[in-house]
Chain A
C-alpha cells in the first residue's frame, strides 16, 4: 500500500542535495505540497526542477526584451535583426515571452514565461499583444510591464533549470503573493521566536 499526502504540506530542509532532495521528491510524487528549503539556491533549483514546484520572491527586474520576439523556425533561437546566430537570415516566427528576475534576498534567478503563461498573466492573446506592440511600440509595452510588476511579491509555479549562467525558472503560472501581511509577520515572529 502506498501512503498518499494529497492536501498536506511537507517542509523539507536541506533539500538542495542528497537525502533532503530525495525526501522532497518522494513526498511530491505522493501528492504532497512540498516546501523545499535550503540556503544553497542552485542545488535547490535543481531539486525544484526534478519535482516541479513553487517558489516566491520579489520581481527585482523586468527585462527590456519582454514581449513579442521573432524566433528562428529551425532552432527556435531568438532572431537578432532578423538573423539567427546559427542559421543566418531567417523569416522569423512570432512568439511571446516575458522575462523577469525573481529574488528572495538570498538568491536570484531569471524567471521566464513562455507564450501560454504570458498570455495567462497578461489576460491577452498573443495577437492582442502584437496589436499593442505595433500601436505603442516595444518600449511602451515594457514600461507598462515594469509599472505593473517591478517590486511585486509573487508566487511562481513551474520548473527550474540551472546552467553556467545561473538558475532559470520556467513559470507555468505566476501570480501576486496575496498572503495578508499580518499572517506573514506572525510567521516571521514565530520562526525567529520574536514575541509580539
Chain B
C-alpha cells in the first residue's frame, strides 16, 4: 500500500478530535510532492480527514500573506481546530458567510474534509489542525451518521492497537498476525514515539459518540467536555475564557461540582474531563476547578472511584 503513485489521492480518515490533537508525530514526505502525515497514538496515518462537529469558534485573521480563517469544531471528545489559508480564495466567500452566521449565534453543525497540518509550538510541542478543503453545513442526522462512522473507525484502530501490543514489534510479526496494512507501519512508528499509551481514553470518546448518535444524549451542550490538550492556547482571541468566573467563590464552585457529580453519575462515577468540561460551561476554568476538586476529595465529599472517575460520597 505504501508503493502508491505520488499523485494518488489519500483517503479521508474519520477521526474524533481528541485522537488528532493528542498526536505529535509527523512524517514529512521525502519529496516535494510527497504527502505529509500525522501519526496518532492509535497508529492512524492521517493525511486527509473527514471531521464534523458544532462550530464553536470562528475568526478572520489578516496576515502579511492575506486573509486567513481559523475555527474549531466540537465533537464529543474535544475540539478540531481548522484553518483556511490565504491561498484558498475559493473558500473565502463561504467562510465570510459562516462567520456572519456564527456571530449571530446560529448553531451550526459542520462536516468538513481537509488535510492534516502540523506546526511546532514555541515550547517544542506539535499543534495539529485541519486545513479545510471543503465543508458543508449538516443536520443532526448527518452528524449522528458521522459520529457512528468515526466511532467505527476509532474502534477498528483500538482493536488493531490492542492486538499489536501482544506481538513482537516488527513488520513481519504484524503481517503474520494480519495487522491491516494501512495501520501496520504507522503503529510501529507510533509505538516507538509515544511509548505506553492507554487506549481507554479513546474508548470513552467512542461510547459518548455512540450514545449521542443514538439520541441518548440530545443536547449539544453535553458535548462540551474539556479540552485537555491545552492547544486552545493557540487561539489567542478567546472572548469566553476571560474572567467570567471572577467573584465566584470556592463554595459556589464546590456546589457546581458536587451537584454535577451527583446528577451525571450513572453508576461508575463521572470522568475528570467531563467534570472540567461542565465547569467550563459555568465559565470556571480548569485552573480554578482543579484545586476545588482536590479539596472536595480531601474533605471526602468526593472520591476517585476508578482512575480519573469521581463519585460523590452520597451517591448510590
Q: Report whether over half of chain A's contact residues are helix, strand or loop; otherwise say mixed.
A: mixed
Residues of A within 8 A of B113 (CB): 60-61, 151
The answer to whether B213 touches A192, judged by C-beta atoms less than 8 angstroms apart, is no
Most buried by A among B134, B145, B207: B145
Which A176-196 residues have a C-beta within 8 angstroms of B? 181-182, 184-185, 188-189, 191-192, 194, 196
Given A40-B1, A58-B50, the answer on whether A105 and B214 have CB atoms closer than 8 Å is: no
The answer to whether B11 touches A108, judged by C-beta atoms less than 8 angstroms apart, is yes
The answer to whether B12 touches A103, judged by C-beta atoms less than 8 angstroms apart, is yes
The answer to whether A181 touches B156, judged by C-beta atoms less than 8 angstroms apart, is no
The answer to whether A147 touches B210, judged by C-beta atoms less than 8 angstroms apart, is no
Is A101 interfacial (CB 8 A cutoff)?
A: yes
Residues of A within 8 A of B13 (CB): 105
Interchain nearest-CB distance for A127 vs B (Å): 29
Give the size range of B's interface with the partner: 35 or more
The answer to whether B142 touches A105, judged by C-beta atoms less than 8 angstroms apart, is no
- Of chain A, the residue at the smallest CB distance from B110 is A151
Residues of A within 8 A of B210 (CB): 185, 188-189, 194, 196
The answer to whether B12 touches A108, judged by C-beta atoms less than 8 angstroms apart, is yes
Residues of A within 8 A of B159 (CB): 192
Is B111 interfacial (CB 8 A cutoff)?
A: yes
The answer to whether B182 touches A39, judged by C-beta atoms less than 8 angstroms apart, is yes
The answer to whether A39 touches B181, judged by C-beta atoms less than 8 angstroms apart, is yes
Residues of A within 8 A of B138 (CB): 151
11 A–B contacts from the bound complex (CB under 8 Å): A39-B182, A40-B1, A60-B113, A61-B113, A108-B9, A184-B148, A185-B148, A185-B151, A192-B152, A192-B158, A194-B210
A residues near B (Cβ < 8 Å) are: 39-40, 58, 60-61, 101, 103-108, 146-147, 150-153, 164-166, 181-182, 184-185, 188-189, 191-192, 194, 196
